[in-house]
Amino acid sequence: MSGRTYATVMGVGGAQWLERAERENEERPRLAVDLLRLKPGMTVADVGAGSGYYSELVSRRVGATGKVYAVDIQVGMIRLIQERIRRLNLRNVTPVLGDAANPKLPSETIDLALLVDVYHEFAEPQEMLRKIRAALRPDGRLVLLEFRKEDPAIPIRPEHKLSVEQAKAEIEPEGYRLDSLIEALPWQHILIFRKTATP
């Protein structure tokens, strides 16, 4: 639809890259989570959760009264999430095995759907966006962290980058509007979309 090349999904073998010590300096994930304005009691879906790196950070923000759905389409990643839950006693995190077209989230229960460096890997982006929209509450937010395609100096392969204009062109027709753009991270956009009343 968009003419861009969809990146292949990172396999379980890439999980070590998600956990690398340099990630905090290169991507500032804790700052990213700060900027999402999460509150205790919120329900968040970490879609494309991988090893659960962000699920862990989010779980601490939403607290015991909140809930995190850690969604991935790979059984191996779900196992890594389960190990993290056991190791850190993350009682508010629930692993969910989705598929390429469906994150398998309950309808109208999600306050915020978080997609960290994953939207560009969706094999069926329009269908996923529709299913995520159905899972969001009426005032729910869809948040993408994506490496800035506009900046050639960022050392990431082009198919793993996304521009603001690409994101808007693909996401807004599926019942969202770009609400805010945060450029406080070293390498990534934070694109915050709101669910619209009608698709």
- Give the tens place of pLDDT for each residue, 138-184: 999 999 999 999 999 999 989 899 999 999 999 999 999 999 999 99
- Single-letter amino acid, residue 194: R
Task: Output the pLDDT for position 1.
Answer: 43
DSSP string of the chain, one letter each residue: ---PPPPPPP-GGGHHHHT-TTHHHHH-HHHHHHHTT--TT-EEEEET-TTTHHHHHHHHHH-TT-EEEEEES-HHHHHHHHHHHHHHT-TTEEEEE-BTTB----TT-EEEEEEES-GGG-SSHHHHHHHHHHHEEEEEEEEEEEEETT-TTS-S-GGGEE-HHHHHHHHGGGTEEEEEEE--SSSEEEEEEEE-S--
Task: Output the pLDDT for position 88.
Answer: 96
Q: Which contacts (CB < 8 Å, 24+ apart) does range 171-180 have?
A: 171/129, 171/142, 171/144, 174/126, 174/129, 174/130, 174/133, 174/199, 175/129, 175/130, 175/133, 175/199, 176/129, 176/133, 176/142, 179/141
134: which 2 tokens? 């159905």
Whether CATH 3.40.50.150 fits 12-195: yes
> In the block, which residue shows the tokens 């779900």?
78
Task: Output the pLDDT for position 9.
Answer: 55
Task: Output the pLDDT for position 26.
Answer: 84
Instruction: Give CA–CA dist 113/150, Å, rounded.
Output: 24
* Contact criterion met (CB below 8 Å) for 156 and 130: no
Residues of the chain with pLDDT under 70: 1-21
What are the structural domain ranges in the chain? 12-195
Task: Output the pLDDT for position 198.
Answer: 79
